[in-house]
């Protein structure tokens, strides 16, 4: 069932997408790819979300009765499921199956035999305990791509330890860098960043493995540790430490090797971000400040010299920004070619014309909850754009359809499976 896209909604006058037609779906880049997702929360499931946005058939397997804990994580809604579930489980078929029972494991293998991808994020060894590990599943499908996401990966001394995004931020080196100088480390952005990053890396891995399958014709396992997804994005901290023994510390809103590159408060109380990544950009800022001579001063002309005088440079910029209203500083920066933006709340995002023009938000009419606003999918593609079918479904909503169409299980047999607690 496809959720209706409401074309008359007035929430922030949001741009709205069309329903996905069968003809359009057939042109999706991942049309014909079947993914079995037996994962919970966000990290591995977000990979399924990305693949589903671009046409893959996502069959999400959940435990009967309780389902994915993500259903209860975050803001609960009138339909019983959370907003994060409705958003991140979109375009997925909801199926229940107990893999711990032999009959459940057998049905799972039958599904895998006709699938392209399996996504899981149990603790290492759990799928093997059920006879459903990669080596087991490749025997029933020798072209299978399998993604395994765990806290520390499938190998190493910490492989069996549990972990969530917060732990990955800590172990991966990100939390150490987040916060004010000499203050306590903080959660970067108060989001499950490591989970989402792992899902993105997972989607890249799946696409690479599917491409490789076309040439080598073999099954392949993709192994991702949550902490690795964070660590890989920390620019030069590894080579800088290895080469020079430099340990980057927390710097609040500042950046280690450039200035002014920070957050500054306007005279009317709002905060803006200003980015200066080169000497050429500093010349623009100096001109906008009405102090063009700074760009040729030996004390400020180069990044190396400015970093030595970080506090002085930041103070000059802060005084300039603080002497004006938000509208004034944005206008002056735009006129001078200086990268500057107000630091947005979600309220600002909903009101901004750029978000509207780019259709970054869409309003749907969900059959269970009614009007609902979701972020649109990424990336934006000119010929095969992402497609929306429905928000996250009710527990087991598609069990009968999937088992009936793919495994030939009739309603009588399905009812027996339900009584046995297998589905």
Q: Residue 230: how many CB atoms within 10 A of its CB?
A: 23
Q: By C-alpha distance, which of 409, 73, 352 is closest to 417?
A: 409
Q: By C-alpha distance, which of 214, 102, 148 is closest to 110?
A: 102
Q: How many CA atoms lie within 13 A of 408 on its CB side?
A: 2
Rg (CA), the chain: 25
The three-state secondary structure class of 318 is helix
Q: Residue 357: how many CB atoms within 10 A of its CB?
A: 9
Please enumerate in sequence order all residues whose Cβ is within 8 A of that of 139, keeping only pairs 6 or more positions apart, or say none: none
Give the Cα separation of 256 and 177 in Å (integer): 10
The b/e string for 235-268 (b: 16+ C-beta within 10 A; e otherwise) is eebeeeeeeeeeebebbeebebebbbbbebebee
71 phi, psi to nearest 5 deg: -60, -30
Please enumerate in sequence order all residues whose Cβ is within 8 A of that of 217, keeping only pairs 6 or more positions apart, or say none: 143
Contact between 117 and 32 (Cβ < 8 Å): no
Active site residue 254: no
- Measured CA distances, 53 to 49, 168, 414 (Å): 6, 26, 29
List 6, 195, 254, 398, catalytic entry: 195
Q: How many CA atoms lie within 13 A of 221 on its CB side?
A: 14
Q: Which two tokens stand for residue 299?
A: 């004390």
Residue with tokens 């399905």: 414
Give the Cα separation of 334 and 146 in Å (integer): 48
Give the Cα separation of 122 and 100 in Å (integer): 13
Residue with tokens 């990955």: 168
Positions annotated as catalytic residues are: 195
């Amino acid at each position: 069932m496809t959720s209706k896209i409401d074309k008359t909604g007035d929430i922030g006058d949001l741009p709205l997408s069309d329903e996905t037609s069968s003809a359009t779906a057939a042109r999706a880049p991942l049309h014909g790819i079947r993914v079995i997702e037996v994962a919970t929360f966000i990290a591995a499931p977000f990979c399924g979300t990305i693949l589903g946005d671009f046409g893959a058939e996502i069959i999400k397997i959940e435990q009967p009765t309780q389902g994915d804990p993500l259903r209860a994580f975050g803001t609960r809604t009138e339909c019983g499921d959370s907003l994060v579930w409705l958003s991140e489980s979109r375009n997925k078929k909801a199926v229940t199956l107990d893999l711990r029972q032999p009959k459940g494991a057998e049905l799972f293998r039958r599904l895998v035999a006709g699938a392209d991808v399996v996504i899981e994020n149990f603790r290492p060894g759990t799928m093997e305990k059920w006879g459903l590990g990669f080596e087991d599943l490749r025997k029933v499908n020798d072209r299978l791509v399998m993604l395994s996401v765990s806290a520390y990966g499938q190998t190493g001394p910490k492989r069996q330890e549990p972990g969530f995004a917060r732990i990955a931020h800590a172990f991966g080196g990100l939390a150490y860098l987040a916060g004010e100088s000499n203050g306590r480390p903080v959660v970067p952005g108060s989001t499950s960043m490591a989970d989402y990053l792992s899902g993105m890396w997972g989607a890249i891995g799946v696409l690479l493995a599917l491409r490789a399958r076309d040439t080598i014709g073999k099954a392949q396992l993709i192994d991702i540790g949550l902490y690795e997804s964070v660590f890989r994005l920390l620019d030069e901290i590894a080579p800088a430490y290895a080469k020079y023994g430099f340990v980057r510390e927390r710097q609040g809103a500042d950046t280690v090797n450039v200035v002014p590159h920070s957050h500054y408060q306007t005279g009317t109380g709002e905060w803006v971000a200003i980015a200066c990544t080169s000497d050429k950009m500093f010349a623009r800022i100096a001109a906008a400040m009405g102090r063009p001579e700074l760009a040729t001063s030996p004390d400020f002309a180069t990044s190396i010299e400015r970093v030595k005088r970080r506090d002085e440079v930041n103070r000059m910029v802060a005084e300039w920004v603080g002497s004006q209203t938000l509208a004034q500083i944005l206008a002056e920066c735009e006129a001078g070619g200086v990268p500057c933006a107000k630091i947005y709340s979600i309220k600002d995002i909903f009101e901004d014309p750029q978000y509207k023009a780019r259709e970054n938000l869409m309003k749907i009419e969900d059959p269970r909850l009614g009007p609902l606003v979701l972020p649109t999918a990424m990336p934006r593609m000119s010929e095969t754009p992402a497609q929306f079918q429905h928000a996250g479904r009710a527990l087991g909503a598609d069990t009968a359809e999937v088992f009936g169409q793919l495994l030939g299980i009739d309603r009588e047999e399905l009812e027996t499976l339900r009584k046995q607690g297998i589905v």
